Homo-oligomer: A and B are copies of this chain.
Amino acid sequence: MAVANAAVKIPLDVPVVEKRVRNRAATQQAILDAAKRLLAEEGFQNFGINAVARGAGCDKQLIYRYYGGLDGLVEAIGTDLGSWVADRIPDDTGGMFLLTYGDLMERLSLLFLDALRADPLMRRIVAWEVSESSEQVRRLSEARSKALAGWIERMRGSLVPPKGVDAQAVNAMIFAAIQHIVLASAVSDQCAGLALKNSKDWEKAATALKRIVRGVYG
């Protein structure tokens, strides 16, 4: 009797289980948010349909319906990336007068360094880019580099690099260095023997970066 009683006990909290509202737009957004969160926190390794659906608290079928599968979802993330740059990296010169190309590049380098350090999603995407060459990640990579190039172009204004220096190649090296050092720090707190834990370490890194930029551009 007691057992039966317990079995038929009115479930007090079952009706409270907040029912998912029927709202396609909201669900779509929830899926996109879950995808970005998952990618940022767990990385691309365990990034899949099931995981995203679990994270969004809905059925994976909806991902197929609303985004046409993982590919479409990744593409949607890529589209978001455009607005990212605008949000995360200041577009003005911070009140500075950038007299020389060297001034500009020093500032851009440090801004990019900080922005990348502060954004786990972006870091995961960069790591993904250098680990896989699928169509998925190629599009993501393209969106990222386009947004970045646009930002640099906007900041550049009318400044031109000094003659005799292949600015494109040198800048690629500098940005490569920033990306790699930030990626390395995110997984192992160091890079090539250089510690990258506390803010003091990062001061050293920033100083080295400035020195490199100044060494090239004066």
Residues of A at under 8 Å CB distance from B? 43-45, 127-133, 138, 141, 145, 148-149, 165-166, 168-181, 183-184, 186-188, 191-194, 204-205, 207-209, 211-212, 214-216
Contacts and interface: CB of A to CB of B under 8 A. Distances in A.
A166 B204 contact: yes
A175 B192 contact: yes
Copy total for this chain: 2
B212 A173 contact: yes
A209 B141 CA distance: 24
A212 B216 contact: yes
B173 A130 contact: no
12 contacts: A45-B132, A145-B193, A168-B193, A172-B181, A172-B194, A173-B181, A173-B209, A176-B176, A180-B180, A212-B216, A214-B215, A215-B215
A131 B43 contact: yes
Contacts of A43: 131-132
A141 B188 contact: yes
A130 B205 contact: no
Given A172-B208, A173-B212, 9 more contacts: A45-B131, A130-B130, A130-B180, A130-B183, A130-B184, A130-B186, A176-B181, A180-B183, A214-B215
A148 B190 CA distance: 15
A211 B170 contact: yes
A181 to B, nearest CB: 5
Given A129-B184, A131-B131, A192 B166 contact: no
Contact of A187 (B132, B184, B211): B132
